[in-house]
Amino acid sequence: MRVDIFWSDSDIDILVQCRDNVRYSLFGLVRMSDQLEQIFHRPVDLIDRKAIEQSANYFCRRTILNSAEAIYIDERFLCIYTYSV
């Protein structure tokens, strides 16, 4: 997380990447977002890496993927990254 641009009212941008063998739904991502908001006590913008990789918006795709920093890795299930926009 870039502390130099992190204000007291900032949200947290989270990029999640699930392994191919993991099945999940939009409801599951919303629930994960809600749980992260409870942990961090601030809004969370959670996006799926596959959705960003397939985005037609080149600038957004490049910015997010180039700034992503892994903050949690579970080799069996998922990786979680923060990113800056």
In a domain, 12, yes or no: no
- The answer to whether residue 3 is domain-embedded is no
Q: How confident is the model at residue 77 (pLDDT cuts 50, 70, 90)?
A: confident
Q: Is 4 a domain residue?
A: no
User: To which residue do tokens 């599951």 refer?
Assistant: 28
Residue 33 within a domain: yes
Q: Are 49 and 16 in contact (CB under 8 A)?
A: yes
The residue range of the domain holding 48 is 20-82
Distance between CA atoms of residues 25 and 15, nearest Å? 15
Question: Model-level pTM?
Answer: 0.79
Could you tell me the pLDDT band of residue 47, with boundaries at 50, 70 and 90?
very high
pLDDT band at 6 (very low <50, low <70, confident <90, very high): low
How many distinct structural domains can be found in the chain?
1
Domain annotation covers residue 59: yes
